[in-house]
Amino acid sequence: MNELHYQLDLLKAMNQKLTERERMYTKVCESAEGAFLYCSLEKKQLSALGQWREFFDFEVRETKDFSKILDVVEEQYVLSLREVLFLEKLGEESGSAECRLRGKKVWLQFRTQVYYDREHNPTDKVICIYNVTRLKSQNEELTFMAYYDGLTGLYNRNYFVRLLSEYVRNAGEKNSVVSVMIIDIDEFRKVNDGLGIIVGDELVQQFGLFLKEICEDNVIACHLHTDVFCVAIFEPSGNRNVDSIYKAILNRTKDAFHISSGQDIHITVSIGVAEYPQASRSALELINCAEIVVFKCKNQGKNMLQYFDTPVLTDFLDSIELENKLKKAVFNRDFYMCYQPQYYAGNRRLRGVEALIRWKDEDSRLISPATFIPVAEKNGSIITIGSWVVEESVKQYAAWRKQFGFPFIMSINISALQYKRGDFVDSLVEVLKRYQVSPSEIELEITESVLIDDFRAVSERLKVLRGYGIRISLDDFGTGFSSLSYLKKLPIDTLKIDKSFIDTVMTDSATRVITESIINMVKSLGFESIAEGVEEAQQYEYLHAIGCDVIQGYLFSKPLSPQEFETVLNGAV
C-alpha cells in the first residue's frame, strides 16, 4: 500500500514538474517577437505558441490546417512556402521562405526545423514565424538608394557609369557607337541664390522627371551632380539619337517649369556631346570629354549644343600647362601637408586628423587639390604623390606620437590607382614598420571609385589591410551605389557622410531623412560615422542629436599646418 502511495506521489510530482516546464516554455514563446508552430508528425497534431494571434485570425490543430496559412499569402509565394511548411517531404532538416500576406503590406518569414529519428524518419518539426516588414522596407529603400538618385529618380552617378561601361564594351564588340550628352542648366546658381535651394532642387527634380520620360531601350540618364545631367545612347538611330533628344529638350524648355511654391521658371541648357569611339574609348573619359564641351558652350554664351572634336582640345591649353607644372612639382616634391582635426560629437575630444595635401606652384599660387588631383590621376603621377603623402603623414604622426605620447587616428586618403597597385599593401606596411607606428592608429580613406572595376579583388585587399589592424574608412558615403548595395560585404570601420548632405541637411527634409537613415544604418552595422564639411553650429547640434559619432569641418577647425596642430595636441594631452 505504501508502495502504491509512493508511486502516486511520484507521478504527481512528475506531472507538476511537466506542467511547470510547459508553462515556462509557453511564457518564453509568448514573450518572443514571433509565432511558433510545434508539429507532431506522428500524431499529425499542431500547437500554436507565441504571438500567433498577432499574425493570424484562425486556429491550427492538425497538419491539414497548413492550407489555411497557404490561403492567406499572395499567390506567387505559395509554392515556396509549401516546400518550407512540408520540408520533411524533401528529406531536409531546415529551410526558410519570405511571403507577403494577401491584400496587406505585411511580410512574414517562415523558418522550419525538422527532427528525425535514427532511421531518418521525421518525428517533429518547429516552424518559427517572424514579421520582417520593417526589414523589407529598409532593404527596398537601400536598393533604391543604391542605384537611383534620391532627388530625381534617375540613375545615380556611379551606377550610370557602370551601365555606360557596358554600353562601351558592347559597342566595341559590335563596332558600334555610343553617344554621351552632358546637359547643364544655364544660370542655375541664380535660381538657388535668388529663389532658394528648395526651389532649385524642385527645378532639378522636374527636369530629371522629364529626362526619365524620354528614356527608353538603350537610352539611359543620370543626375550627375547639382544641375548637371548625363544621357547615354547605345547605337543611336531613328528617334533614338542626339538630335531627337535635343529637340525634345528644346520643346520642353520653351515652357516654364511650374514650382509648387508658385514660381514659373524658364530655363535654357548647354549640352556637350562626346561619342565612342571618336572622342574616347572609356566611359569616364567620354563623360569628361562631354563636360569639356559643356565648358566651351558656357564660355560661348550658353543655350547651345556642341560636339567634342579636335579643336576643342585647344581650349584646354591651361590644363596642359597645369599638367606640366604638376610634373615638375612631383619631381621636386613641391607639396606640403595640412591636417584637419576630427572631434567626437559627444565630448568634443580629439579623435584624430585627416592628412590633406597642398600645392603652391612656382608662382606661389595655391592650386586646389580638386584641380590637380584629377590631373594627377589621369597622367598617373598620383602614384608618386600618394606614396609621398603616406610617407610624410606616417613620419609626422610618429614624431607627434613620440613628442606628445597622445594616441589618435591619422586618416590618409588613398586614390583608386594607388590602391590597386599590387605592391600597395606591402609598401604601406613597410612604412609603418620603418617609423614604428601601430597599424591600428592609421586609417585609410577610400572612395567609391575604388570599388567600380573589381569589387571582389578590392574587398579581398581590404581584408588583408584589416588583418594588419589598419582601419578602413569609406569616403563620400551616400553619393553612389557602392557604399549601399555592397556595404554589408565591405570590411570597413568608418563611413564619412559626404559634404553634399551636410550642406543641405538643415534646409531640405529629404536630405534629413536620408542622413538619419544612413546614421541609423551605420550604427546597426557597428561602424563609426563621420560628418565632413560641418560649418555651422546648427548642423553640429542636429548631427549630434541624431547620433553621428564624429564631426569634421570648419566649425571646429580648418586644415592646420603641423605647427598649428601641435597647439591642438598640447591642449588635448
Q: Mean pLDDT over residues 57-71, rounded?
A: 87
**What is the H or E stretch that residue 108 is in?**
strand 107-116
Mean pLDDT of the chain: 86
Residue 534 has which C-alpha cell? 560641418
Q: Which of 186, 344, 321 is nearest to 267 (CA)?
A: 186
- Look-up: residue for cell 515556396? 80
- Please say if the pLDDT value at position 469 is more than 50: yes
The pair phi, psi for residue 48, each rounded to 5°, is -100, 130
Mean pLDDT of the 329-339 span: 90
108 compared with 145, residue with greater pLDDT: 108
Angle between helices 317-332 and 369-379 (to 10 degrees): 80
- Which of the four pLDDT bands, split at 50, 70 and 90, describes residue 558? very high
Range of lowest pLDDT (223-227, 250-254, 416-420): 416-420
- Residue 222, beta-bridge partner list: 155, 230
Query: Looking at residue 314, what is its pLDDT?
Result: 57
The reported pLDDT for the residue numbered 482 is 46
Q: How far apart are CA 70 and CA 85, in angstroms?
A: 9
Using CB atoms within 10 Å of the CB of residue 56, give its burial: 0 to 12 exposed, 13 to 18 middle, 19+ buried.
middle
DSSP tally for the chain: helices H, then strands E: 22, 21
Going by pLDDT thresholds of 50, 70 and 90, the confidence category of residue 20 is: low
115: part of which helix (H) or strand (E)? strand 107-116
Q: Quick check: helix, strand or coil at residue 258?
A: strand
Sign of CA dihedral 355, 360, 365, 371: negative
Q: What percent of the chain has pLDDT over 90?
A: 42
More reliable by pLDDT, 196 or 144: 196
- 3-7, 243-247, 334-338, 511-515: which range is least confident on average? 3-7
In tens, the pLDDT along 121-136 reads 999 999 999 998 887 8
- Please tell me whether the peptide bond between 277 and the residue prior to it is cis, using omega within 30 degrees of 0: yes
Report the Cα 123 to chain-centroid distance in Å: 47
Q: Which grid coordinates are listed for 553?
A: 569641418
Most confident of 27-31, 397-401, 415-419, 479-483: 397-401
The more confident residue out of 67 and 1 is: 67
Asked whether the predicted pLDDT for residue 452 surpasses 70, the reply is no
At 249, the pLDDT band (50, 70, 90 cuts) reads very high
The predicted-structure confidence for 525-546, as pLDDT tens digits, reads as follows 888 999 999 999 999 999 999 9
What are the Cα distances from residue 323, in Å, to 285, 330, 361, 527?
17, 10, 11, 39
pLDDT at 228: 94
Say if residue 114's pLDDT is above 80. Answer: yes
Angle at 340 between CA 336 and CA 346, to 5 degrees: 165
501 pLDDT band, cuts 50/70/90, is confident
Transcribe 522-537 into DSSP letters. HHHTT-EEEEE---SH
pLDDT of residue 18: 44
Question: Sign of the C-alpha dihedral, residues 216, 218, 224, 227?
Answer: negative
Phi then psi for 265, rounded to 5 degrees?
A: -120, 125
Q: Which residues of 382-500 form beta strands (DSSP E)?
A: 409-413, 442-446, 471-477, 494-497
Average pLDDT estimate for 244-258: 93
Kindly indicate the confidence band of residue 438, based on its pLDDT and cuts at 50, 70 and 90: very high
Model confidence at 238, pLDDT cuts 50, 70, 90, reads: confident
4 pLDDT exceeds 70? no
247 burial class (0-12, 13-18, 19+ CB within 10 angstroms)? Answer: exposed
Q: What is the mean pLDDT of residues 490-496?
A: 88
| φ and ψ of 508, to 5 deg | -125, 115
The string over 118-134, giving b where at least 16 C-beta atoms fall within 10 Å of a residue's C-beta and e elsewhere, is eeeebebbbbbbbbbbe
